[in-house]
Chain A
Amino acid sequence: MNICSLFLYRTFAHNMARLKIPRKVTNPPIVKGFKPYGPDLDSKKREPVILNFEEYEAFRMCDYDMYNHHQASALMNVSRPTFTRIYASARMKISKAFVEGRQIEIEGGKVYFDSDWFQCNSCGCDFNNPQRNISIQNCPLCGSSSVMRHTEDIQENTPFDANEDLCICTECGFTKKHHYGVPCRNEVCPTCKAPLTRKHH
């Protein structure tokens, strides 16, 4: 892109909001919302808080499944900063509902639902698994038990090159392979008993 086209792009496109990338939701909520209870609550008169599906999914992945933002953003098919924004908005809405005693309605948002796909080795059909809590044993068409899960679009849980990083001792230069999820300062050098630091690959 040269300067001229950049200029044109800026003049014509700056009024338009950026298009949102559809967020992938693998586990839709089992309820439509939440209601507060108590004697003084006149909850019907108050506007409910509307929590989007993407915000529910972000909240579920971070606080229930304990993924970090980087992993969760990859699973949701958005960038890490976008994920953090969605998550912050989810927390704000949930805290608002808690403090003000409002209902939560889970609906809307720019999302698409996605379920696991399987392939049968005997009849060659492809099928999905709509009941996420029940695991697939047999092919729904021919009943054969040799079914295989599609794996091409399943991301690794550690998509960074952190696996290549090393923990290094500042005293003697001893290195060991960095263990994912364990901070380097918790590791101790076997010779000088000093805490290690990170050496990026």
Chain B
Amino acid sequence: MRIAITSRGNSLESTLDQRFGHCKYFVIYDKQTGAVEIIPNPYCEVEEQAGTLAVKLLSSKNVSKIVSGEFGIKVKPILDSLNIQMIMYKNQNISIGKVIEMLNHNK
């Protein structure tokens, strides 16, 4: 199971980005192998449709869950029809490492 987490920086110490489409980096965590892939978001400067473009990118990476602060109104129906689970976590100061730790506790 691959889980995408939106991040403000490119390390595990950086914090969770509260925006989905305009976040700086995506951290893709593979739960089976424990592998972490960090990809910069090419659409973080795009003014419109950033969310839908980001969904296309993540769905090509076979992501089944996305952890972020908030999802836009255009993104929610697309993710619903792609069967990708959205997790909204409002804590701004949590680091990506902590999120991965939480996901690991959950068996």
A and B associate: yes
User: Do A123 and B81 touch across chains, with their CB atoms under 8 A apart?
Assistant: no
Residue A126 interfacial (CB < 8 Å): yes
CB contacts (< 8 Å) of B87 on chain A: these are 125-127, 140-141
User: Do A113 and B80 touch across chains, with their CB atoms under 8 A apart?
Assistant: yes
**Shortest distance in angstroms between A171's beta carbon and chain B's nearest beta carbon?**
56
Closest to B91 in A: A124
User: Which residues of B75-96 are within 8 A (CB) of A?
Assistant: 77, 79-81, 83-91
* Sample (29) of A-B pairs whose CB atoms are under 8 Å apart: A113-B80, A114-B77, A123-B89, A124-B90, A124-B91, A125-B88, A125-B90, A126-B87, A126-B88, A127-B88, A128-B80, A128-B85, A130-B80, A130-B83, A130-B84, A130-B85, A131-B83, A139-B106, A140-B65, A140-B85, A140-B87, A141-B87, A141-B103, A142-B102, A142-B105, A142-B106, A143-B102, A143-B105, A143-B107
Q: Whole-angstrom distance between the alpha carbons of A127 and B79 in the complex?
A: 12
Q: Mark B58-73, 1 if CB is under 8 A from A, else 0.
A: 0000000101000000
Counting residue pairs across A and B whose Cβ atoms lie within 8 Å, the total is: 53
Q: Whole-angstrom distance between the alpha carbons of A114 and B99 in the complex?
A: 26
Interface of B, secondary structure class, is mixed
**Shortest distance in angstroms between B41's beta carbon and chain A's nearest beta carbon?**
21
CB contacts (< 8 Å) of A28 on chain B: these are 81
User: Which residues of A109-146 are within 8 A (CB) of B?
Assistant: 112-115, 123-131, 138-143
Closest to A124 in B: B90
Question: Beyond A127-B87, A128-B86, is A115–B102 a contact (Cβ under 8 Å)?
Answer: no
| Interface magnitude class on chain B | 20 to 34
Q: Whole-angstrom distance between the alpha carbons of A125 and B90 in the complex?
A: 7
Q: Whole-angstrom distance between the alpha carbons of A172 and B77 in the complex?
A: 57
User: Which residues of A55-88 are within 8 A (CB) of B?
Assistant: none
CB contacts (< 8 Å) of B91 on chain A: these are 124
Closest to A125 in B: B89
Closest to B88 in A: A126
**Shortest distance in angstroms between B91's beta carbon and chain A's nearest beta carbon?**
7
Q: Whole-angstrom distance between the alpha carbons of A121 and B67 in the complex?
A: 17
Q: Whole-angstrom distance between the alpha carbons of A123 and B87 in the complex?
A: 11
Q: Whole-angstrom distance between the alpha carbons of A123 and B79 in the complex?
A: 23
User: Do B102 and A123 touch across chains, with their CB atoms under 8 A apart?
Assistant: yes
CB contacts (< 8 Å) of A139 on chain B: these are 106
CB contacts (< 8 Å) of B80 on chain A: these are 113-115, 128, 130
Q: Whole-angstrom distance between the alpha carbons of A113 and B76 in the complex?
A: 8
User: Do A141 and B89 touch across chains, with their CB atoms under 8 A apart?
Assistant: yes
